[in-house]
Amino acid sequence: MFSKTDSTSKKKQRKAGSKVYARFVKGKGELNKYQHHMIRDMAYFEALYNEMLSDKNAKVETLEGLKKGREAMRMSLNISPKAKSSEAVLKFWATGKMLFVAYKKNKKKKKKKEKELTPEIAERAAVLSNLKKQIATAKVNAQRAATIKAQEKIKEGN
């Protein structure tokens, strides 16, 4: 997770912080797309929390916020809040590796499916899309008509 050059607590904290910031703040729109990266960066979040505990300049509010985030991340993988940090990091990292393997396999399958797209299938997809739009429009129009009739009945009653 950390290289040999990241030997001090400050260096580990800086690297973990940059990973967490890049994934959960800057790249939060891609969390669902790249779940394997997100799970691995949860391990960095765990490391960031541990390094912040040893930092004398860390604010209590910051640590409390990190603790809540850490507990939420642990709960997402059913890791006990009382479990050791090393255990949580190993679970996050291993899960991230497994998801990466699955991601690569799914990516290969998608490429194969894209090659099999024939003009006939593309035409059918276009017709289906057009029908879906027409159905959605019909639903909206029916709801509007029902609303108008209900308003007319309310006015007649008064």
- Report pLDDT digits (tens) over 72-106: 888 988 888 888 988 988 888 898 899 899 888 88
Q: Could you tell me the mean pLDDT of each successive run of 10 residues in the chain, 158 residues long?
A: 71 84 82 84 87 86 88 88 88 90 83 71 90 92 88 81
Confirm whether pTM is higher than 0.75.
Answer: no
DSSP the chain: ---TT--SHHHHHHHHHHHHHIIIIITGGGTTTTHHHHHHHHHHHHHHHHHHHH-TT--HHHHHHHHHHHHHHHHHTT--TTS-HHHHHHHHHHHHHHHHHHHHHHHHHHHHHHHT--HHHHHHHHHHHHHHHHHHHHHHHHHHHHHHHHHHHHHHH-
